[in-house]
Chains A and B, each alone.
Chain A
Amino acid sequence: AQKITQTQPGMFVQEKEAVTLDCTYDTSDPSYGLFWYKQPSSGEMIFLIYQGSYDQQNATEGRYSLNFQKARKSANLVISASQLGDSAMYFCAMRVKAARQLTFGSGTQLTVLP
Chain B
Amino acid sequence: DTGVSQDPRHKITKRGQNVTFRCDPISEHNRLYWYRQTLGQGPEFLTYFQNEAQLEKSRLLSDRFSAERPKGSFSTLEIQRTEQGDSAMYLCASSLDPTGAYGYTFGSGTRLTVV
A residues with CB within 8 A of B: 4, 33, 35, 37, 42-47, 50, 52, 91, 93, 95, 97, 100-107
Looking at the complex, which of B11-19, B38-46, B63-71 is the stretch in contact with chain A? B38-46
User: B21 interface residue, CB < 8 Å from A?
Assistant: no
| Category for how many chain B residues contact A | 20 to 34
Q: Is the CB of B108 within 8 A of A42?
A: yes
Q: Name the CB-closest residue of A to B93.
A: A45
B residues with CB within 8 A of A: 31, 33, 35, 40-45, 48, 55-56, 58, 89, 91, 93, 99-109, 111
Q: Helix, strand, loop or mixed for chain A's interface?
A: strand
Q: Is the CB of A50 within 8 A of B33?
A: no
Question: What would 16 A/B residue contacts be, using CB atoms closer than 8 Å?
Answer: A33-B100, A35-B103, A37-B106, A43-B89, A44-B106, A45-B91, A50-B100, A50-B102, A91-B42, A95-B100, A97-B99, A100-B33, A101-B48, A101-B56, A102-B104, A106-B40
Chain B residues lying within 8 Å of A43, measured Cβ to Cβ, are 89, 91, 108-109, 111
Q: How far is the CA of A107 from the CA of B41 in the complex (A)?
A: 7
Q: How far is the CA of A4 from the CA of B40 in the complex (A)?
A: 15
